[in-house]
A and B are shown apart, each in its own frame.
Chain A
Amino acid sequence: MHWLAGAWALAGLTVTEAMRQRLWLLFVVAVACLVIQAPSLQAVDRGAQLKLAVVAITGAISFVITLLAVLVAATALRRDLDSRTGFLLFAKPLARSAYLCGRWAGVQAGLLIGILCLCVVGTLTMVWQFPTMPEMRRVINPAGWEQLSAFGQAIPIDEAKERVQLSGAPGNGVRWRFTGLPAHPPSTGIEVLLRVGVHGFDPQASVEEALVQVSALPAAGGPDAAPQVLAIDAQSPYGRTRADQPVSAGQAVVRDRDESRTDLSTDYLRLRLPASCIDASGAATIQLIRLESRSALTIGRSSSLKIAGAGGSFFANLVRGGLVMLAGASLLAGWTLVCAVVSNIGVTALGGLTLYFAGCALPAMREVITYNDTSLAARRLMNLGLEVLPDFERYGVAVRLAASEAVDWSMVLSAWSYYGSYTLVFLILAWASFARREL
């Protein structure tokens, strides 16, 4: 209990110090300015401006908490050591582990308050600037998939394959298997989102859309039962017309949307999965069949078809996204404490930010390794980096929120367990160094 009292006191002290420095005000004003500025930025439409505003808010939160995690942790510990306040502190019944944990927890608490402030300010300015807020969707990705031949034969797809291309005679397609769906969905059914890449074969003629049929196997009736065609949602951004001509019942028009088009509101064809196609265990099978031969379809394992549910308010998702980013910042604070114990303030700040930038460079490292156009030593170094460095781009909160995809609690938990394991290692390292240190 004494340990906890010490850690609690230090955490409170850290928050008080951060608050009295009034750095938050600066950032709150900066975020408000960014969001107010968003509508005047170059964007194709109002939706794109909305996305810019979302990216501005999440980017600002990420920037602020990264910077503050490093600076607050570094200055708090280094100042105590350099100004000899440590003499006073450790002459009291305060364990060094309690001091470190208290400082770390205080940084997290301070950042959490900052995140909440930025979320409130960001959301309010968005409400003020835009007539509608992003409609957030919580998505379920397929549990498995298989290819369908033009004769309706199911062909397993190699596990390592992320994308397949469908071409040739019409009638072939892909079938996805979903699990974990609500066993008792609403009578209107569940939203299904479809996005595929469409390519023509003739370089002279641009082909940007294709006719398909999307259907689901009924839950009752076994594998031989006739698939039930999914109706296009009234709110779907496209699907019903082809070159301004309506299509027949049971058909849908998919437009070319490559992997960079991820907005759940505008890039996906929306369909309704009826309750009768979901079995008692919450599983469903949905298939896509090509209806014409003039185009090829590129289909992704988890990116092409998703089941969507209501994802809650934008503010709630922004806060959860903030918590994911906070998990990354907690790691940085832990690492900064390690640096602060063993070195001076300059090296500490540099060390903290270096880890962040190295962690952000992991996607670039993966790309370089994939292209195999660098020296063996550099490749080995990058492979080592990929093994040991934390990936700060792992959860892509900004991209996710801009694409109207909900950040759910499972992602927050996942982020805290991933970054938390690093944090734990860093805090133990900091303690091991600090316990040996004489004041």
Chain B
Amino acid sequence: MPDPVLRTVDLTKVYADFWGRPRVAALEGLTLEVRQGEVFGLLGPNGSGKTTTIKLLLGLLRATRGDAFVFGRDPSDQAVKHRLGYLPEETYLYQFLNAEETLAFFGSLFRMPAAVLKRRSDELIGMVGLGHARKRRLGEYSKGMARRLGLAQALINDPDLVILDEPTSGLDPLGSAEVKELIIRLKAAGKTVLLCSHLLADVEDLCDRIAILHQGTLRECGRVDDLLRSDDRVLVELAKPTAEQLAAVSSAAGSSLIGVAPPRERLEAHFRRIIKAAGTSTQGKP
């Protein structure tokens, strides 16, 4: 089995006060692995230690105890950072730059050749749908536009590992869907994605495996299908069944019928369908 892309062993972070006295244990004994090509979800309520974990994996914090390895190396190693892309929870970009300049700046930190950087920048700006606003300063961007650009900067170096902290935060449903499609494309390209999100539906749709953190401790870790599987119930789909047919299915299975309800479309799919239909009907109108 190849080395995991990310590995933490008993990773612990205790924040200390000015005098060095322990104040808050943000993360306690986290041990997990993320393998190549996986989309791994890190879940947990506010204050559960997700951001601390990410900061430790980026080398922005020093662990109080335990180890973290990214591509088998210490996270603060500059070689590691060449293969890593990061989108923080909020988009902290320079307001006085425009989209092109922002990507050129972040690209220059990787010493990318100018021609490659230009090509990559154009490609990413197009991909995140900011072609029309590429010359506008970020101070004039909406939150969603800044988020899209944040995503573009995370991918400027074509990273092998992408760490996305709440990537769909601030995006409209269409934008969220595009980000989700992008993550699927990254996975298809063999990239590893570490995804932090409060939106459980997103995580459920995208992640191969998830870890659930609570109060700094790992509560559960495993494949999404395995974790969500319910062995004591079965879903049967019937087209417009009668009461007799339902009773027959139930008695044939030798089980009690718990509930009957028509299936519901997911709101996101419904919204996208409406927007798509509206777009089709207005085509050709002035």
B55 touches A17 (CB 8 A): no
In the complex, how many angstroms separate the beta carbon of A368 from the nearest chain B beta carbon? Answer: 37
Q: What 0/1 pattern do residues 95 to 112 of B give for CB contact below 8 A with A? A: 011000100011011110
B92 touches A439 (CB 8 A): no
A88 touches B111 (CB 8 A): no
A1 touches B111 (CB 8 A): yes
- Residues of A in contact (CB 8 Å), total 27
A13 touches B110 (CB 8 A): no
Known A16-B96, A84-B90; contact A438-B106, beta-carbon cutoff 8 A: no
Known A2-B78, A16-B96, A20-B96; contact A88-B153, beta-carbon cutoff 8 A: yes
B92 touches A84 (CB 8 A): yes
A438 touches B60 (CB 8 A): yes
Distance of A439 Cα from B94 Cα, bound (Å): 18
Q: What 0/1 pattern do residues 60 to 98 of A give for CB contact below 8 A with B? A: 000000000000000000000001111111111111000
Which residues of B lie under 8 Å from residue A438 when comparing CB positions? 60-62
Asked if A9 is at the interface (CB within 8 A of a chain B CB), the reply is yes
Contact count band on B: 20 to 34
CB nearest to B15 among chain A residues:
A438
B41-66 at interface with A (beta carbon < 8 Å): 55, 58-62
Which residues of A lie under 8 Å from residue B180 when comparing CB positions? none
Which residues of B lie under 8 Å from residue A17 when comparing CB positions? 94, 96
In the complex, how many angstroms separate the beta carbon of A96 from the nearest chain B beta carbon? Answer: 10
CB nearest to A91 among chain B residues:
B86
B108 touches A88 (CB 8 A): no
Asked if B216 is at the interface (CB within 8 A of a chain A CB), the reply is no
A85 touches B94 (CB 8 A): yes
In the complex, how many angstroms separate the beta carbon of A90 from the nearest chain B beta carbon? Answer: 6
B58 touches A93 (CB 8 A): no
Which residues of A lie under 8 Å from residue B82 when comparing CB positions? 93
Distance of A1 Cα from B108 Cα, bound (Å): 12
Which residues of A lie under 8 Å from residue B55 when comparing CB positions? 87, 439
In the complex, how many angstroms separate the beta carbon of B33 from the nearest chain A beta carbon? Answer: 21
* A contacts with B: majority SS: helix
B58 touches A87 (CB 8 A): yes
* B contacts with A: majority SS: loop
Which residues of A lie under 8 Å from residue B88 when comparing CB positions? 84, 87-88
Distance of A341 Cα from B55 Cα, bound (Å): 19
Asked if B198 is at the interface (CB within 8 A of a chain A CB), the reply is no
Known A6-B109, A9-B105, A92-B81; contact A87-B96, beta-carbon cutoff 8 A: no
A1-47 at interface with B (beta carbon < 8 Å): 1-2, 5-6, 8-9, 12-13, 16-17, 20-21
Which residues of A lie under 8 Å from residue B94 when comparing CB positions? 13, 17, 85
Which residues of A lie under 8 Å from residue B163 when comparing CB positions? 91
CB nearest to B156 among chain A residues:
A92
Known A5-B111, A439-B55, A439-B60; contact A91-B81, beta-carbon cutoff 8 A: yes
B109 touches A9 (CB 8 A): yes
Among A2, A21, A86, the residue within 8 A (CB) of B111 is A2
Distance of A87 Cα from B78 Cα, bound (Å): 15
Query: Taking beta carbons and an 8 Å cutoff, which residues of A are in contact with B?
Result: 1-2, 5-6, 8-9, 12-13, 16-17, 20-21, 83-95, 438-439
Query: Taking beta carbons and an 8 Å cutoff, which residues of B are in contact with A?
Result: 55, 58-62, 78-79, 81-82, 84, 86, 88, 90, 92-94, 96-97, 101, 105-106, 108-111, 153, 163
Q: Give the 10 A-B residue pairs with the shortest CB-CB distance, closest first.
A: A91-B86, A85-B92, A93-B81, A9-B108, A92-B109, A439-B60, A5-B111, A93-B78, A20-B96, A91-B58
